[in-house]
Amino acid sequence: MIHRTFIAIDISEQQRAEIGQMIDTLKHTRSGVRWVRPENLHLTVKFLGDTDDASIVTIAAALNELSGKCAPFQIELRQISAFSSLKRPDVIWIGVTKSPELGALAAGIEQKLSLIGFKKEDRPYSAHLTIARVKNRRVTMKSMNNKRLCPTRPLAYAMCRRLR
């Protein structure tokens, strides 16, 4: 069987609720935007795409080896932004401050997965938490780029034990 696969860091229920409240605030200001439900919020580390069952077993073994070497750390979510541009966004996300620990984890995952046949990313890792996908091409980010809507404190991720 084939599965749409990615490696992600779970966030706590409290963090989901806090970000969910922020999404609820934004949800009423824009149509043509598909918002991520709070139970689906996560920090993607690597997108793998369509992956078969046998590969998932191999990936899990590689990640288990890596996660045993990783201690929990904190990251801080910052302003709302977008891919591909603020004028014509495709994806709305919350930015993550640079974290040496998260960067090392992402690099370790890239390295481990390249050894089992996955292509390394050409781009540097850009940590973010996706909160919406934009379907209406007339939506802009002008009124959404508001730091007051983002969490005001660092969010802790006890992460290497919670990779999914």
Catalytic site residues?
A: 42, 128
Q: Of 76, 68, 116, whose CA–CA distance to 96 is shortest?
A: 76
What tokens were used for 25?
């605030």
Task: Please provide residue 105's backbone torsions phi and psi, each rounded to the nearest 5 degrees.
Answer: -65, -50
Q: Is 28 exposed, middle or buried (0-12, 13-18, 19+ CB in 10 A)?
A: exposed
**Minimal CA–CA distance to 135: which of 99, 89, 100?**
89
